[in-house]
């Protein structure tokens, strides 16, 4: 059953500037690889740390989708 509880996260690595903000704010969700961030896992539970990472990215390359696949702006 789709409960609507999960988020999907991804990083557009072609635009990521590698300042590690998302990794320091949400280390469970993001990690660095070859100087750029990537999602550790595609599906995460909605959390304040992921929302903070989303908001802290200076180039807005973190994409968060809700369980329906719709892009959302967590924290807003």
Nearest approach in angstroms of CB 31 to ligand SF4 is 10
Q: Which of 73, 68, 75, 64 is nearest to 2 (CA)?
A: 68
Q: Under the criterion CB under 6 A, does residue 61 sit at the interface with ligand SF4?
A: yes
Q: Is 64 in the site for ligand SF4 (CB under 6 A)?
A: no
Q: Which of residues 23-42 bind ligand SF4 (CB under 6 A)?
A: 37
* CB of 32 closer than 8 Å to CB of 20: yes
- 75 vs 54: CA distance, rounded Å: 8
Which residues are at the interface with ligand SF4 (CB under 6 A)? 11, 16-22, 37, 56-59, 61-62
């Amino acid at each position: 059953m789709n409960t609507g509880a999960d988020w999907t996260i991804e990083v557009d690595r072609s635009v990521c500037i590698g300042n590690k903000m998302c990794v320091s704010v949400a280390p469970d969700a993001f990690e660095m690889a070859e100087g750029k961030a990537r999602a550790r896992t595609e599906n995460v539970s909605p959390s304040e740390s992921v929302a903070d990472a989303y908001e802290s990215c200076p180039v807005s390359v973190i994409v968060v989708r809700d369980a329906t696949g719709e892009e959302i702006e967590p924290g807003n």
